[in-house]
Structure 1
Amino acid sequence: MSGTLARARRKAREEARRAALRLLRAINARRARRAPAPDTATVRILLQHAYGMGGTIRTVLNLAGHLARERDVEIVSVVRTAKEPFFPIPPGVRVSFLDDRTGRRGPLARLLSRLPSVLVPRQENIHRAVSLRTDLLMVRFLRSMRSGVLISTRPGFNLITALFAPPGVITVGQEHVALDMHAPEVVRLIKRRYGRLDAFVTLTQTDLEHYRRALKAPPGRLLRIPNAVTALAGDISELDEKVVIAIGRMVHAKGFDLLVKAWKPVSEAHPDWVLRLYGRGRPEAERRLRARIEDAGLSDTMLLMGSSPEIGVELARSSVYVVSSRYEGFGMTILEAMSKGVPVVSFDCPHGPGEVIVHGHNGLLVPGRKPAALAEALNRLIEDRELRRELGANAVLTASGYGLDTIGARWDALLAELGDGRPVGDGHQLFDQL
């Protein structure tokens, strides 16, 4: 009996889903007949948390600032958990919030916030950070749009945008990690829905090739545009300070547990050098990392510095930048270090470091997840001041090719193409596959 009841419930849910999709398709078809001409003068960027800290937030703010030079730009933050932004908001950029969690909320909002999201896949990293309330707020926002460009910045938002953005809105998805880092369930949805986006942008050439192979029905435009590096406070490093620096959130992907293992032999060989780690994490993650450092006897030479809004100044006071990541979407901090003339030692992890670092030219690459190899490369740079200077000088030249004007021009060109008489989708293709 229970099996029969379960099957009946699944059938009822499927019928309700199909009915809702038929209704949405009909609404989209009606909207398409009234859709205005493509508008690229108005850009909205869907971001998880505009007031938080992290590489994606920083690079999205950089992009928004560039686009705001000639366009009306608004960052739509799905959630708000801080009163003030960690990074400064660029001039001309507005920020709005869908789910503001900094104030009091009514009983219905509290109830919906306790229920899990049904639109963001359970296997997506942000699933626990969103809820049924954020689902409803995102859908309401999307359906309220009539024209303009919408740039979404992570798989969960790309999937929702592909499904609910109405005709008349130009949709651009971004990938800030990599296709092969996503769970199989998320990849299946990506393959089925990303073809509905007008454009999709990866950060690396490797990831672009992966998407080309995976998407049997690709978006209208599938291309690579790397992140841009902006001018940071602080001078070019003299590379004389006995300081190695690492930057990142305290999460598994950043591999700081591997960095502890790598730093121990370096510290034993060079006890007058220190490793300063800038970043934050959940309290339990910070406690675990601090305990690892203490257990390794590195409390005096591996220092947890917390977060810093002026990371350029800290980079200017260092002589080596180290990356211990298990994987990177691009590695924005690598370019930031290079912009200060700081040579980089990095695991050759998927996918970003190897596309920026040329081994022996502007940094050193070592096999991924090999702390002993990372330690050997660090010792090499610590002991060879002239090599540091040579790699650092080349690093500055590398970073100059990723300036905001250069990268921003590629976004300008993409938006120009999307707005150049492009026929607006009529919504009929929207539900071919779910």
Structure 2
Amino acid sequence: MTSRAAASGRGQAVVFACMDADTLGGVQQVTHIVAQGLALRGHDVHVVGLHRSPDPFRFVEHPLYEHHVVQRRPPGAGRPWAARGRVSRLLSSLGQGYAVLTSPAVVSWLAGALPSRFRAIGQYHGSYEHARGTWHFASVRRHYGDLARSVFLSPEDAARFAEQALLPNADDVPNPLRAWPAAPSFLDVPRVLGVGRLAWVKRFDRLITAFARAARTRQDWQLHLVGDGPELPRLRAHAASLGMAGRVVFRGRVPAAEIGREYLNGAILGLTSEHEGFPLVVGEAASYGMPAVAFDVSGGVRALVRHGTTGVLVPPADLGALTGALAGLMADHARRRRLGAAARAHAEAFRLERVLDRWEEVFARISR
């Protein structure tokens, strides 16, 4: 297989391998955004899903990269040795290049099956804090140090993995913003936003609780939750139990092309996840000049939210602090505008072109 960019000789092959490349999720979204950006720069880019997604989502309308699904079975039902053989054959048909393995599971499946002309890069989309509580840390420590490079989401995460997992090859590349809005929000619509899949890990129940407490004396404010997922019935019931059925609005899934309207019509972003790597929704909100109130759960969150400057960080799971932070910003439009302006300036570092530059720096470092 010879793709357009390889035939023109403009760039080396770059392959992104995911367990599942097409489910609506952060890893998948970032993979497709970066793949399209590198393809536009002339690289021969391929996105490989080791498994078929049970509910595929289209992230890029007109992809300039190749897209492959190795096994038609869903995750958990596939055969690692079959996937390794198929990916090895695919890569053998390409020129030399780089294989970005986007999770510890993908590294353990594929690292030993890559053709010698491909240099393996182990990517980790989670945080150091989360890794230490799961099998991920041991897997990163066991496998990532043998790869050409290891890539983490923030300088803090890269430094901590380098020190604690004894990695000699750690780099940091943040997740990129899909686009940059021409103008920011005025932050004058009395609306708190929660954006993401309605899954337990996002803990939107905490955001609903804190909003209900903060909004008791501010009847014009609403909380809008943008996304869908299995927690929807429970979250509806939780909002109703707090007397917020009419003020917590469930917007459902919003197409990527329309999400900007949500940020333009909001004033504060709430992030209440149990854990996060580098939450794109915070960067997206910041690009619209919207401050965030977030649980301080990772280096990625701290890279996005400068406490007291671009938003407010509160201790993880501290509902009292979260309520106070929301109430303070709800009551102070001037402070929202001040933090939001600083957030937009800070988010410049996560524009797609700058993140693509960082990826090409990683490739250059390997090639030296």
Q: Same fold (TM over 0.5)?
A: yes
| Structure 1 residue 156 corresponds to structure 2 residue 112 | no
| Structure 1 residue 328 corresponds to structure 2 residue 328 | no
Cα 1:149–1:313 change in 2 (3 A) is: same
User: Take 2:159 and 2:149, find their aligned partners in 1: how far apart are those partners?
Assistant: 15
Match of 2:287 in 1: 339
Q: Offset of 1:84 from its aligned partner?
A: 5.9
User: Take 1:188 and 1:365, find their aligned partners in 2: how far apart are those partners?
Assistant: 29
Q: Of residues 43, 64, 87 in structure 1, which corresponds to 2:35?
A: 64
- Relative contact order, higher structure (CA 8 A, sep 6+): 1
Code of the aligned partner of 1:76: V
| Structure 1 residue 207 corresponds to structure 2 residue 157 | yes
Match of 2:245 in 1: 299
| Superposed CA offset, 1:39-98 (max 9, x none) | 970111112333321222221122112211211101112233368633224541221111
Code of the aligned partner of 2:162: R
Q: Of residues 355, 358, 368 in structure 1, which corresponds to 2:306?
A: 358
Code of the aligned partner of 2:278: F
**Kept in 1: contact 2:27–2:125 (CA 8 A):** yes
The alignment partner of 2:274 has SS state of: coil
**Kept in 1: contact 2:263–2:288 (CA 8 A):** yes
User: Take 1:231 and 1:242, find their aligned partners in 2: how far apart are those partners?
Assistant: 25
* Aligned pairs for 1:272-283 within 5 A: 272-282=220-230
**Kept in 1: contact 2:128–2:298 (CA 8 A):** no
Cα 1:197–1:55 change in 2 (3 A) is: same
Code of the aligned partner of 1:238: F
Match of 1:41 in 2: 12
Code of the aligned partner of 1:295: S
Code of the aligned partner of 1:42: A
| Superposed CA offset, 1:302-361 (max 9, x none) | 122111122122111111111112221012111100001111111122232222212221
Match of 1:16 in 2: none
Cα 1:311–1:374 change in 2 (3 A) is: same
User: Take 2:249 and 2:222, find their aligned partners in 1: how far apart are those partners?
Assistant: 7
Code of the aligned partner of 2:108: L
The alignment partner of 1:405 has SS state of: helix
- The gaps in structure 2 that reach 5 residues or longer are 1-9
Code of the aligned partner of 2:170: L
Q: Offset of 1:187 from its aligned partner?
A: 2.7
Match of 1:107 in 2: none
Cα 1:302–1:348 change in 2 (3 A) is: same
User: Take 2:18 and 2:182, find their aligned partners in 1: how far apart are those partners?
Assistant: 28
**Kept in 1: contact 2:38–2:356 (CA 8 A):** yes
| Structure 1 residue 138 corresponds to structure 2 residue 83 | yes
| Superposed CA offset, 1:143-182 (max 9, x none) | 3233421111112112223333242221011111124423
- The gaps in structure 1 that reach 5 residues or longer are 1-38, 102-112, 114-128, 421-434
Q: Of residues 190, 211, 228 in structure 1, which corresponds to 2:176?
A: 228
* Aligned pairs for 1:349-428 within 5 A: 349-420=297-368
* Aligned pairs for 1:129-278 within 5 A: 129-133=75-79, 135-144=80-89, 145-146=91-92, 147-182=96-131, 183-216=133-166, 218=167, 221-231=169-179, 235-278=183-226
Cα 1:373–1:414 change in 2 (3 A) is: same
Cα 1:80–1:319 change in 2 (3 A) is: same
User: Take 1:90 and 1:418, find their aligned partners in 2: how far apart are those partners?
Assistant: 30
Q: Of residues 51, 59, 77 in structure 2, which corresponds to 1:87?
A: 59
Cα 1:89–1:198 change in 2 (3 A) is: farther
Q: Of residues 25, 29, 34 in structure 2, which corresponds to 1:54?
A: 25
Larger Rg: 1
Code of the aligned partner of 1:150: A
User: After TM superposition, which residue ranges in structure 1, 4 or more long, deviate above 4 angstroms?
Assistant: 232-235
Cα 1:184–1:278 change in 2 (3 A) is: closer
Match of 1:98 in 2: 70
Q: Of residues 29, 32, 47 in structure 2, which corresponds to 1:75?
A: 47
Indicate the percent of aligned positions where both proteins have the same amino acid.
28
Code of the aligned partner of 1:73: V
Code of the aligned partner of 2:24: M
**Kept in 1: contact 2:137–2:165 (CA 8 A):** no
**Kept in 2: contact 1:244–1:318 (CA 8 A):** yes
**Kept in 1: contact 2:329–2:335 (CA 8 A):** yes
User: Take 1:368 and 1:233, find their aligned partners in 2: how far apart are those partners?
Assistant: 30
Cα 1:91–1:184 change in 2 (3 A) is: closer
The alignment partner of 2:243 has SS state of: coil
TM-score (norm 1): 0.76
Cα 1:384–1:179 change in 2 (3 A) is: closer
User: Take 1:306 and 1:86, find their aligned partners in 2: how far apart are those partners?
Assistant: 17
User: Take 1:319 and 1:208, find their aligned partners in 2: how far apart are those partners?
Assistant: 32
